[in-house]
Structure 1
Amino acid sequence: MIPRRTWLKSALLAPFVPRLAVNPSIVTPVKPPRLKPGDTIGLFCPAAPAYSKETVQVTIESLQALGFKTKLSAHFYDRYGYLAGRDADRAADLNNFFADPSVNAVMAMHGGWGCARILPLLNYDQMRRTPKILLGYSDITALLLAINARTGLVTMHGPVGSVTWNRFTTDWLKRVLIDAEPVLFRNPADEGATLAPTRDRISTIRPGTARGRLIGGNLTVLSHLIGTPYLPDWKGSILFLEDVQEEPYRVDRMMAQLKLAGILDQVAGVVFGKCTKCESENSYGSLTLEDILATYLEPLNVPAFAGSMIGHITDKFTVPVGLNAEIDATKGTIQLLESAVS
């Protein structure tokens, strides 16, 4: 007979015990099937609630315009404070979509906060058995990294449902997920009237080329997962990062955490995308973002550049997490070495 104290302890902690599928260092990469016209995309809310039904409708119509059907998760409109429902229900929505044969891909409607809370509740074995495209960014970084680490599934750092579905974003999504191109990500040429480009510029921190698996996402979310079993193997990887509304000292603090945790010393190259609205509120005496990136990335002696179209921006790439790529820090490009989907 199990002692009452032991039973209570196991019962209380059981929902939070990670379901570890396999050792991340020996996971075999798994590519999800490509999207085809007529496929169904499951929309779910793993973090912030769906506040606006009009925004949801715009998303549905945008995906229909791309040739897809949509399906809302069972708890799509739930709300629990700043979360889109209880942890167990949000996790169940994702688990059920992966188990549902009528759903071909899964897309988060919003970011926000809450994805890390459901990581212990996900059915990683099911996800490896029925691989599907998982798409999102920002707080969805927690799902992208954890699922890649635990299953080997190549996940997609790209648009959530509530983004602006413009030509730039949809073209890159099509090329990566529908046409299965091993694309070359290159920032758009500046179409302004100035003598030198002023928009979406690339900043080379250390020149050169490097190859490795693309691993990364939102800097804040990634740094908060350090010390958990939900991060992939960093050795020889290409680290890509982005963030929003973080003052320089906060970016400094998080980059220091990556350095102290030994992550920066393992990577083969670094791409820092966009840090949107990351200027200091008190510029007097503040380090700039350029200062901070130089401090942490230059001593690594690996190719590194900043400014790629990755982040909280209107025009964004769809970047596969866990896929082999080559970066050219001088040109500011990311070349996929294989297709991201099967």
Structure 2
Amino acid sequence: MRITPKRLQKGDTIGIISPSSPPNLDNLKKALPFIEELGLNIKMGKSVEAKRGHLAGDDDARLADLHEMFEDPNIAGIICAGGGYGAARYTDRIDFAMIKENPKVFWGYSDITFLHTAIGQYADLVTFHGPMLASDVGKDEFHERSGRMFGQLFGPFELHYTEEVAPLETLVGGQAEGELVGGNLSLIRSSIGTKFELDTKGKILLIEDIDEEPYQVDEMLNHLKMARKFEEVAGIVIGDFKNADPKKPERSLSLDEVFADYFKDLKVPVVKGFKIGHCEPHFSVPLGAKARLDGDARTLTVLPGVE
């Protein structure tokens, strides 16, 4: 059983960090009132406004922010300002023992997937795959349902995803239970061959991505297949794949054909169409929490991510 962090309460302080690329500071500023409306106070990481090329400051500074926010007893949770690229550059230097001793809410997605996987496997902590401040909350198209998903941080309740959110399609029926793991497909693939390689045995695997054409999704799924990540998986949750249309349709499989090639013959439930990922609304989920995927009823149930 993974550690579930303590629930947030009004009056708590959350740390905001930029583990990867520099966030859009205008969007970040627009997002802060949302956090304040949740009744939370804010502490900014030192590297949030830093820039070093495509990174939010150097690796040492971003790592120091992550460590400081987990170590600080006055910080109840951590929310990432944005993704991009760069979290994996310092993951091998994270103090996972310290994080395990100071469990708290950790929230983000996209490039943050690498941190979710590492923290989950080495600190045994449930973390949250959800919209980030500059990347999502501070934009005009931020959906009310996406905002409501932050409510799961304030009390332990089950999440039930049904077709009330968006239409779903079953590729393989049946039911499965297991820890929900995964996130961004590109980052899952990039973990293969490292000490942070995602363990999918007996797990329900979530995949999502953005700006990847069908042939690129094909290549990444083939890499996971060759790495035997589908052999003992309990089930597959296919989230949103935004901007996945091929530039040359006449020379490309469709994304649906790619998914069918890899998943239709699996003996475990596979359901696609979940609004999880680079989309609005964005249904947030606790990674590492126990989940149940029902391919026949087309539902996903996830146990609480906080205590």
**Same fold per superposition (TM over 0.5):** yes
Structure 2 equivalent of residue 36 of structure 1:
9
- In the TM superposition, what are the counterparts of 1:74-85 in structure 2 within 5 Å? 74-85=46-57
Question: What is the CA distance between 1:310 and its match in structure 2?
Answer: 0.5
> In structure 1, the residue corresponding to 2:239 is in which secondary structure?
strand
Residue 120 of structure 1 is aligned with which of 92, 110, 119? 92
Correspondence 1:169 to 2:146: yes
Correspondence 1:324 to 2:290: yes
Query: Equivalents in 2 of 1:238, 1:201: separation in Å?
Result: 20
Residue 33 of structure 2 is aligned with which of 58, 61, 78? 61
Structure 2 equivalent of residue 111 of structure 1:
83
> In structure 2, the residue corresponding to 1:113 is in which secondary structure?
coil
Query: Equivalents in 2 of 1:167, 1:184: separation in Å?
Result: 17
Contact 2:286 2:304 in 1 (8 A): no
Give CA deviations for 1:189-214 in whole Å, capped at 9, x if unaligned: 5xxxxxxxxxx321110111111110
Runs of at least 5 residues in structure 1 that lack an aligned partner in the other structure: 1-27, 190-199
> In structure 2, the residue corresponding to 1:212 is in which secondary structure?
strand
Residue 90 of structure 1 is aligned with which of 48, 54, 62? 62
Question: What is the CA distance between 1:50 and its match in structure 2?
Answer: 2.7
Whichever residue aligns with residue 190 of structure 2, its letter is H
> In structure 1, the residue corresponding to 2:250 is in which secondary structure?
coil
Contact 2:202 2:233 in 1 (8 A): yes
Contact 2:3 2:125 in 1 (8 A): yes
Query: Equivalents in 1 of 2:57, 2:298: separation in Å?
Result: 40
> In structure 1, the residue corresponding to 2:90 is in which secondary structure?
helix
Residue 310 of structure 1 is aligned with which of 271, 276, 279? 276
Structure 2 equivalent of residue 160 of structure 1:
132
Residue 155 of structure 2 is aligned with which of 179, 188, 194? 179
Normalised to the residue count of structure 2, the TM-score between the two structures is 0.95
Structure 1 equivalent of residue 306 of structure 2:
341
Q: Sort the Cα spacing of 1:72 and 1:232 in 2 relative to 1 into closer, same or farther, 3 A.
A: same
Correspondence 1:135 to 2:122: no
Contact 1:119 1:143 in 2 (8 A): yes
- In the TM superposition, what are the counterparts of 1:179-328 in structure 2 within 5 Å? 179-188=155-164, 200-328=166-294
Question: What is the CA distance between 1:102 and its match in structure 2?
Answer: 1.1
Contact 1:40 1:68 in 2 (8 A): yes
Question: What is the CA distance between 1:67 and its match in structure 2?
Answer: 1.2
Provide runs of 4+ in structure 1 moved above 4 Å.
none
Contact 2:241 2:277 in 1 (8 A): yes
Q: Sort the Cα spacing of 1:187 and 1:110 in 2 relative to 1 into closer, same or farther, 3 A.
A: farther
| Structure with larger Rg | 1
> In structure 2, the residue corresponding to 1:265 is in which secondary structure?
coil
Give CA deviations for 1:201-247 in whole Å, capped at 9, x if unaligned: 21110111111110110001110111111134321100010000100
Instruction: Name the Cα RMSD after superposition.
Output: 1.2
Question: What is the CA distance between 1:187 and its match in structure 2?
Answer: 4.1
Whichever residue aligns with residue 146 of structure 2, its letter is T
Give CA deviations for 1:52-73 in whole Å, capped at 9, x if unaligned: 2x22221211100111111101
Normalised to the residue count of structure 1, the TM-score between the two structures is 0.86
Whichever residue aligns with residue 45 of structure 1, its letter is S
Contact 2:177 2:293 in 1 (8 A): yes
Runs of at least 5 residues in structure 2 that lack an aligned partner in the other structure: none
Residue 48 of structure 1 is aligned with which of 7, 13, 21? 21
Give CA deviations for 1:28-73 in whole Å, capped at 9, x if unaligned: 5111111111111110101111332x22221211100111111101
How many residues in Structure 1 have an aligned counterpart in Structure 2? 302
